[in-house]
Amino acid sequence: MLLPILAMMLASTSPSEPSSSLPICNGVEPTAGTQPPSIVSALRMSEAWFQASKTANDDDFIALINDGGPKIPGGPAEWLEMRSFLSNLQLCGVKSVDNNNLYIWVFDRNADSFAVTQFRLNATVSEKPEFVGAFLTDEAPLGYVRPEPLTSRMLVKAVEERVGGKAAKDHFSGAVLISHSGRILFQKAYGLADRTNHKPNTLNTQFRFGSMGKMFTAVAIMQLVQENKIDLDAPIGRYLTGYPNPDVATKVTVAHLLTHTGGTGDIFGPEFDRRKSSLRTLTDYVALYGSRALEFDPGSRSSYSNYGFILLGRIVETVSGLSYDDYTRRYVFAPAGMTSTGNDPERSILPRRAVSYMGSGTKISRADDTLPFSGTSAGGGYSTVGDFNRFVNGLTSYQLLGRETFQRLKDGGLKTSGGHFTHFDFGGSMAGIGPYIGHGGGAPGMSGSLFHFLQNGYTIVVLANRDPGTAESISNFTAHRLPAN
């Protein structure tokens, strides 16, 4: 059943009338514009789909998708897996429309952030719109009033209430740390590191961190830049002699890899799944993917590339003469005092490493079969919230990089051929708070997030042994309520 506001709007508004009567979130008026029949049809479908995710039984939910859409890859099993994600979304209104796509504002209550849901439209009303995805964004609809900043004491109280509430419902399992200018304000662990043996998470529990490990690779590269051993503008073939694809070797630069603008592609997919057990070193990855053609001309656009960071790790190895793991242990972890961080293989027995769990409710299971052999320069290792806080302290005290090199890492990047400036993958900026260094990471059974805000000195670290979104639900909530600069 459609929500009353949307049902009334669609029943009483002709296709050419403005969309100002669409549902709103927190008083936010959606973007006005004319609505052709295909848009009205897509809006009906999307609202019915969102509402069914919250209220329908499984059979009715599947029937709604089969009968009215949207068109989604996979089948009923995959559709039902989406329900927990969809049920957290509140539809807010139209963001924009073009000839082929409808973009709808939604508010993700779990992530405490807005997202943009994209539907690809077809030529006729009778054809089902295709669900492309929902993408979290720091943008917000015009008129949205962001949460009021809290004092440090009130912030800690609010975070404790949010994490405690989620943990009580088994929606959070992990650890949280908040610090300000090096002083820890709050740190606490929740949930179970091993559900079978009822072993609790502690502040010393080592959690897998997914792509957060890319920060260590970026620091390693910049250390070698600082020593004049790497030129960011040099083609990677200078350092990876004999690279299988000469096009990649001569056209892709180190800076392209740091900005994901090299066109080097991903590592995950059917080929990875078939060969996973044999991918034990960075050289193994290059042997598998090194002959692959570029996905696009380097520097023309940006597309997230795990393989690009594998190549950065190989460059660290060839330039330093050490393995990636030996280099990061010696020159990143040790100087920062990070004694609980590493990339040891999954077969290694680490008593403090948490078991990774995927799914929710009655469908929680171990994620062991999805894990790679070990962590790499693209991520996948393990750490603690305390070690990530020490990593931030090592950066901001210029122990890991000199002042000028650190500035270059956090502010640097390159312009694509279209004129868009793409920063190195080491942080970003959040509306109302300003620039930060940090990274997120996630895969089945692991979720992590690090923010260190450069203007107000607050650091937020959240690690979890549950699916992506678990850590972000806490880190975003915290960031959006930080004390004013």
pLDDT surpassing 70 at residue 1: no
Q: How far apart are CA 217 and CA 391, in angstroms?
A: 13
Q: How far apart are CA 188 and CA 198, in angstroms?
A: 18
pLDDT of residue 272: 85
Side chain identity, residue 234:
A
Q: Where are the domain boundaries for CATH 3.40.710.10 in the chain? A: 207-479
The terminus-to-terminus CA distance of the chain in angstroms comes to 45
DSSP H or E segment with residue 388? helix 385-396
Query: Which of 47-56, 113-122, 317-326, 410-419 holds the top average pLDDT?
Result: 317-326
**Rounded mean pLDDT, 43-56:** 87
pLDDT digits (tens, 9 = 90+) for 93-117: 888 887 788 888 888 888 888 889 9
> What confidence score (pLDDT) does residue 128 get?
86
Pure H helices in 190-278: 214-226, 246-251, 254-259, 270-275
* Closest-CA residue to 471 (of 363, 356, 367, 392): 356
Given a cut of 70, whether residue 71 has pLDDT beyond it is yes
Treating both helix axes as pointing N-terminal to C-terminal, what angle do 403-411 and 214-226 enclose, rounded to 10 degrees? 130
Eight-class DSSP state of 471? T
Specify the CATH architecture of the domain 207-479. 3-Layer(aba) Sandwich (3.40)
The band of 123, judged by pLDDT with boundaries at 50, 70 and 90, is: low
Q: 287-300 pLDDT, tens per residue?
A: 999 999 999 999 99
Q: What is the pLDDT of residue 125?
A: 61
Mean pLDDT on 256-268:
95
Instruction: Compute the distance between CA of residue 290 and CA of residue 153 in angstroms, rounded to an integer.
Output: 52
pLDDT class for 2, splitting at 50, 70, 90? very low
- As beta bridge partners, residue 464 has 174, 447
Q: Quick one: which of 67, 128, 68 has its CA closest to 102?
A: 128
pTM for the whole thing? 0.86
Judged by average pLDDT, the poorest of 37-41, 170-174, 269-273 is 37-41
Which ranges in 141-269 belong to alpha helices (H)? 152-168, 214-226, 246-251, 254-259
> What span, in angstroms and rounded, lies between the C-alpha atoms of 435 and 109?
24
- Does the pLDDT at position 461 exceed 50? yes
CATH 3.10.450 residue ranges in the chain?
Answer: 4-137
- Residue 20, pLDDT above cutoff 50: no
Residue 476, φ and ψ in degrees, nearest 5 = -65, -45
Residue 9 sits at φ, ψ, to 5 deg, of -65, -45
Provide the CATH topology of domain 4-137: Nuclear Transport Factor 2; Chain: A, (3.10.450)
pLDDT higher than 60, residue 329: yes
- Confirm if 458 and 430 have CB atoms less than 8 A apart: no
State the pLDDT at residue 38: 72
The predicted pLDDT at position 34 comes to 55
Averaged confidence pLDDT in the chain: 88
276, pLDDT greater than 90: no
Tell me what pLDDT residue 27 has.
59
**Helix 472-479 / helix 152-168 crossing angle, nearest 10 deg:** 160
| Residues recorded for the chain | 485
Question: What pLDDT was estimated at residue 40?
Answer: 77
Distances (CA, A) of 77 to 74, 82, 83: 8, 9, 10
Query: Residue 3's pLDDT is what?
Result: 29
Q: Which of 14-23, 129-138, 196-205 has the highest mean pLDDT?
A: 196-205
| 475 band by pLDDT with thresholds 50, 70 and 90 | very high
Whether the per-residue pLDDT at 460 is higher than 80: the answer is: yes
Q: Within 10 A of 26 (CB to CB), how many other CB atoms are there?
A: 13
Q: Encode pLDDT of 398-457 as tens digits.
A: 999 999 999 999 999 999 988 899 999 999 999 889 999 999 999 999 999 999 999 999
pLDDT at 26: 61
pLDDT tier for residue 14 given thresholds of 50, 70 and 90: very low
Distances (CA, A) of 285 to 89, 145, 217, 282, 380: 38, 47, 16, 5, 14
Note the pLDDT tens digit of each residue in 333-370.
Answer: 999 999 999 999 989 999 999 999 998 887 899 999 88
Query: How many C-alpha atoms does 465 have within 13 Å on its Cβ side?
Result: 30
The pLDDT value given to residue 363:
83
pLDDT at 283 over 70: yes
What is the Cα gyration radius of the chain?
A: 23
pLDDT band at 382, cuts 50/70/90? very high
Q: Can you give the chain as a three-state secondary structure string?
A: CCCHHHHHHHHHCCCCCCCCCCCCECCECCCCCCCCHHHHHHHHHHHHHHHHHHHCCHHHHHHHHHHHCCECCCCHHHHHHCHHHHCCEEEEEEEEECCCEEEEEEEECCCCEEEEEEEECCCCCCCCCEEEEEEEECCCCCCCCCCCCCCHHHHHHHHHHHHHHHHHCCCCCEEEEEEECCEEEEEEEECEEECCCCEECCCCCEEECHHHHHHHHHHHHHHHHHCCCCCCCCEHHHCCCCCCCHHHHHHCEHHHHHHCCCCCCCCCCHHHHHHHHHCCCHHHHHHHHCCCCCCCCCCCCCCCCHHHHHHHHHHHHHHHCCCHHHHHHHHHHHHHCCCCCECCCCCCCCCCECCCEECCHHHCEECHHHCCCCCECCECCEECHHHHHHHHHHHHCCCCCCHHHHHHHHHCEEECCCCCEEECCCEEEECCCEEEEEEEEEECCEEEEEEEECCCCEEEEEEECCCCCCCHHHHHHHHCCCCCC
